[in-house]
Amino acid sequence: MSKIREIVARLDIPVIVAPMFLVSNPAMTLAACGEGIMGSFPAHGTRSTEQFEAWLIEMREGLAKQRDAGGKPAPWAVNLVVHSSNPRMQGDLELCVKYEVPVILTSKGAPGDVFKAIHDYGGVTLHDIASQRHAEKAIEAGTDGVIAVAGGAGGHTGTINPFALVNEVRQIWDGVIVLAGGMTTGRDVLATQAMGADLAYIGTRFIATTEAMASDGHKAMIVDSKATDVFFSAAIDGAPANWLTKSLIAAGVDLDVLRTTLPGKIVAAGESRKRWKDIWTAGHGVGNIASVLGTAELCRQLKTEYAAARRAIAPLAVAG
């Protein structure tokens, strides 16, 4: 069995808590791993390479504590922007090598030398893609698996329907596919497997957790929003993303101007970090998020729902 397949087999259910800028942190990641679900955070979610190292140390110590208490924590992951435009890439990558982070979630570009550096210490890579062409490039460069970011995902999103995207990627790849976009329940996780993907990548649902670093306002807006309150635009930070409409209005963004802005042009003022702090992102799954839970409790809920969904479809599986 390939290393990535072995890692997937070690999870209680096939879920990765997706990395989220200004939201994910070691506390959330450790809580998920303690429940047998892969947790993650983005390296760029820290203010500096020094702070990133502090988070890696927190992970190492937290996981050791779980093991000392008899637990079997799930493998964890870090998101790295592997593009030359990221000035921290080299330093952050060196730390991932030093701390032997088991899974690296890579986004932008798909440089083979980065994948090689990760493979050399025994790590595996899952690379973000939003089309069959992106997948082709990442596979050629040597990734161990792809993260298919479909339409409706929180943060920077794809635009292709999840069925269409998984089918196109499956035409060229029999390895691991992680599917992202709009999932909030254990039933959704089982559905990703029925569609031909291997794992679900869930972000937005985990913003509404006690450990998440998101502001209380962001969490409350997620609980109060429906899918129709999510606004797609490439004009807030230059990349296609889904934003909570109420937060755009509160930040004084004119939605009509946004609607008519050409792709790539940026409407919202201020530096990028501030934009993500004041203008909140979320995926289409918001309408199914009714409360803020502890991360461990949410993971247990997903596992219970997943088991119930498997039982519910068992008659369908034998009916054919």
Ligand X SMILES: Cc1cc2nc3c(=O)[nH]c(=O)nc-3n(C[C@H](O)[C@H](O)[C@H](O)COP(=O)(O)O)c2cc1C
For ligand X, which is the closer residue by CB, 4 or 148?
148
Q: How far is CA 269 from CA 203, 251, 257, 266, in A?
A: 26, 10, 13, 8
Q: Does 123 bind ligand X (CB under 6 A)?
A: no
* Residue, CB closest to ligand X: 203
In the region spanning residues 205 to 224, those forming contacts with ligand X, defined by CB under 6 A, are: 207
Give me the least distance between CB of 315 and ligand X, in Å please: 29
Using CB under 6 A as the binding rule, whether residue 149 contacts ligand X is answered as: yes
- Angle 49-68/89-98 helices, nearest 10 degrees? 20
Using CB under 6 A, pick the residue from 63, 153, 189, 208 that binds ligand X.
153
Q: Interaction with ligand X in 20-39: which residues (CB under 6 A)?
A: 20-21, 23
Site for ligand X in 227-266 (CB under 6 A): none
**Residue 14, interface with ligand X (CB under 6 A)?**
no
Residues β-bridged to residue 231: 243
Q: Can you read off the two tokens belonging to residue 128?
A: 């973000």
Torsion, Cα 222 34 183 171, to 10 degrees, reads 150
Report in angstroms how near the CB of residue 317 gets to ligand X at its nearest. 26
Instruction: Please identify, among the stretches 26-34, 130-138, 186-194, 198-206, the one whose residues bind ligand X according to the rule CB under 6 A.
Output: 198-206
Q: Is 289 in the site for ligand X (CB under 6 A)?
A: no
For ligand X, the closer of residues 3 and 83 by Cβ is: 83
CB of 22 to ligand X, least distance (A): 7
- Can you give the binding site for ligand X, defined by CB under 6 A? 18-21, 23, 42, 79, 107, 128, 149, 153-155, 180-183, 201-204, 207, 281-283, 285
